[in-house]
Each structure stands twice: as C-alpha cells, then as structure tokens.
C-alpha cells in the first residue's frame, strides 16, 4: 500500500493511505470470512462492509432467537465500522436481506432504532430473498463515510457556506 506523508505546519504526522487506494479490513473481534471474500474494505473516505449475519464472532455460530440474531448482525457491522473510525451515525447506506419480510422487517426496524437511537437514519433498502447461507434469516451490509483526514473547523466552516 502506498502511503502519503502528511505535515501539519512543520510537524510530520502518521502517514495515511492515498485516497484512491483500496485497503482490506480484517479487525480483531470480527467474524471470519467463510469463503473468498473480505469482511470490509476502505476505499478512500468510504468503508464498504460485506453482508453481516447474526454470527457470534467468539463461537462462529448463529445466535439463537430472531431479535438477538438480527441485533448481532448489526453489531458485527458496527464493530467493523468502528475499527475504521466510523460510527453508526456515519452510515450512508444500509441494505438488508431477509427471508421473511412480514415477520422480520419489524424486528429489523426495532433493532435499528435501538442501535441508532433517534433519527435521522441512513437510507435503507430491504429485500426479501428466498434463502440465505446456513438458512439464516437476515443479512445486513453497510457503507460508511470515514474521512482519512479529519476536517479542521476552518474547512468545515468553508464547506457550510457553499
């Protein structure tokens, strides 16, 4: 990976990946991929998280109970986002796949409200599918905005006046 040297005044700070680079993420405590895929990548200022299911990372087994399993899927996504410097409030898109829209959509809504708190909520697409891996009930993926370099107060003020 190519790194860009950054200076603030005369002080050199930790190098950061160039904005156009893609870096595979595999944070400690995250689930382990079960095939030829990565749990997430950073591409510039964005984090793209693969579909997360309700798997307990410690046991690699599906969590029991619909609500607990759905919550675990969202928590698996949250852990990966946080490892890359993002919070749930930095989520710019959520996609949910479920095997039973009528039964599980209200549960997913409840869990999302619990984790995000009050809105605004990110845009979300929810799709009913015939089947998921291991006959699971729900999978969630997300895209997060996590700038490599935090904007200064002056830069934020300049952007807000445009």
pLDDT, tens digit, 9 for 90 and up, residues 93-122: 999 999 999 999 999 999 999 999 988 999
Residue 4: count other Cβ atoms within 10 Å of its Cβ.
Answer: 12
CA separation for the pair 75, 25 (Å, rounded): 16
pTM for this prediction: 0.81
For residue 97, the 8-state DSSP code is E
Task: Read off the pLDDT of each residue in 5-31 and give the average, rounded to a whole number.
Answer: 73
At 44-75, the pLDDT tens digits run: 999 999 999 999 999 999 999 999 999 999 99
CA separation for the pair 15, 28 (Å, rounded): 22
CA end-to-end span of the chain: 34
Q: Which residues of 49-72 are buried (b: 16+ CB within 10 A; e: fewer)?
A: bbbbbbbbeeeeebbeebeebbbb
Query: Confidence class of residue 148 from pLDDT cuts 50, 70 and 90?
Result: confident
Q: Report the range of poorest mean pLDDT among 3-12, 76-85, 97-106.
A: 3-12
CA separation for the pair 48, 44 (Å, rounded): 11
């Amino acid at each position: 990976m190519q790194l860009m040297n950054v200076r603030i005044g005369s002080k050199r700070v930790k190098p950061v990946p160039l904005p156009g680079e893609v870096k595979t993420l595999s944070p400690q405590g995250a689930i382990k991929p079960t095939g030829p895929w990565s749990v997430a990548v950073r591409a510039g200022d964005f984090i793209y998280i693969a579909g997360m299911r309700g798997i307990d990372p410690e046991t690699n087994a599906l969590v029991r109970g619909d609500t607990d399993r759905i919550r675990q899927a969202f928590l698996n996504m949250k852990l990966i986002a946080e490892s890359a410097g993002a919070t749930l409030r930095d989520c710019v898109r959520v996609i949910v796949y479920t095997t039973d829209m009528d039964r599980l959509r209200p549960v997913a809504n409840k869990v999302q409200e619990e984790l995000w708190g009050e809105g605004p909520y990110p845009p979300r697409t929810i799709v009913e599918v015939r089947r998921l891996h291991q006959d699971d009930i729900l999978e969630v993926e997300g895209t997060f905005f996590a700038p490599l370099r935090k904007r200064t107060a002056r830069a934020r003020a300049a952007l807000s006046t445009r």
